[in-house]
Amino acid sequence: AQSVTQLGSHVSVSEGALVLLRCNYSSSVPPYLFWYVQYPNQGLQLLLKYTSAATLVKGINGFEAEFKKSETSFHLTKPSAHMSDAAEYFCAVRNFGNEKLTFGTGTRLTIIP
Amino acid sequence: GAVVSQHPSRVICKSGTSVKIECRSLDFQATTMFWYRQFPKQSLMLMATSNEGSKATYEQGVEKDKFLINHASLTLSTLTVTSAHPEDSSFYICSALPRGTDTQYFGPGTRLTVL
């Protein structure tokens, strides 16, 4: 069964600092991987996705993530945090041929002015 | 593109009543829609998968008679919470999978409060 682990339920970074949100997956076959962002009382917005093309994926709002098969990781990064990045971030995995998404527990990102 | 709407965004009802939540894909056809439930400060829990024209597939532990799902067309799925109780209070989010793609697009969610 596929699963996703997000290390760190809360991450705080200073404005302008590097953002690193960790995601490790468990899957028996090469998966599709997604990062979604959720602002308070809203649905989820797709940040980026990996679907077996380039291992370094660029998304919206300056975020990117790198698929590392050897480490079973798909960490989300952004070089310089902005106040508007404060939100909840979810990593999700989906196996090819299976429409369901399995979500991690989420990481709440706080930006310190 | 790929916009999903939900209606209502917020609903308060009395215990014992039924509530219907609509999920619409506005600019694409969705062969599959999903319904999730999210508790405060927690992740999304998949409740059911809805395919147009067929019965929904419920996840283990989700009461199909309590959470009625209808996928009447390629752009509309509805979730009806029947005989709602305070423990059904939650944030319900739908998503839609455009035909032939691999990415779910999410609605803005519906906050249900049962008094």
Average pLDDT, stretch A78-82? 97
pLDDT given for residue A51 in this prediction:
86
Residue of chain B whose Cα is closest to the Cα of A99: B102
Identify which has the larger pLDDT, B52 or A29.
B52
Taking the CA atoms of B33, B39, B40 and B42 in sequence, report the sign of the dihedral they define: negative
With beta carbons under 8 A apart, name residues in chain A contacting B93: 43-44
pLDDT given for residue B77 in this prediction:
94
The answer to whether B62 contacts chain A (CB < 8 Å) is: no
Two structure tokens written together for A99: 């429409």
The answer to whether B80 contacts chain A (CB < 8 Å) is: no
Which of B6, B101, B104 has the highest number of chain A CBs within 10 A, making it the mutation to test binding with A?
Answer: B104
Q: How far apart are CA A109 and CA B100, in angstroms?
A: 33
Identify the CA nearest to A4 among candidates A41, A45, A44, A36: A36
Two structure tokens written together for A78: 């952004």
Of A41, A46, A103, the CB nearest to B103: A46
pLDDT at A97 over 80: no
Q: How far apart are CA B2 and CA A83, in angstroms?
A: 27
Q: How far apart are CA B106 and CA A20, in angstroms?
A: 24
Of A46, A49, A90, the CB nearest to B43: A90
Average pLDDT, stretch A61-86? 95
Give B42-60 pLDDT, tens digit per residue.
888 999 999 888 889 999 9
With beta carbons under 8 A apart, name residues in chain B contacting A98: none
- What SS3 class is residue B115? coil
With beta carbons under 8 A apart, name residues in chain B contacting A32: 102
The answer to whether A59 contacts chain B (CB < 8 Å) is: no
Identify the CA nearest to A91 among candidates A109, A110, A79: A109
**What confidence tier does A94 reach under pLDDT thresholds 50, 70, 90?**
confident
Backbone φ and ψ for A15, nearest 5 degrees, come out as -55, 130
* Total Cβ atoms within 10 A of residue A4: 23
Burial (0-12, 13-18, 19+ Cβ within 10 Å), A40 = exposed
- Prior bond of B86 cis (ω within 30°): no
Contacts of A62 (CB under 8 A, 6+ apart): A78, A79, A80, A82
pLDDT given for residue B39 in this prediction:
85
Residue of chain B whose Cα is closest to the Cα of A91: B43
Under an 8 A CB cutoff, do B109 and A104 touch? no
Q: How far apart are CA B2 and CA B96, in angstroms?
A: 9
- The separation between the first and the last C-alpha atoms of chain B, rounded to the nearest angstrom, is 37
- When mean pLDDT is compared across A4-18, B1-15, B31-45, the lowest value belongs to B31-45
Of B32, B41, B107, the CB nearest to A43: B107
Under an 8 A CB cutoff, do B105 and A49 touch? no
Backbone φ and ψ for B61, nearest 5 degrees, come out as 90, -5
pLDDT at B102 over 90: no
Average pLDDT, stretch B77-90? 96
The answer to whether A44 contacts chain B (CB < 8 Å) is: yes
Burial (0-12, 13-18, 19+ Cβ within 10 Å), A1 = exposed
pLDDT at A81 over 90: yes
Residue of chain B whose Cα is closest to the Cα of A49: B103
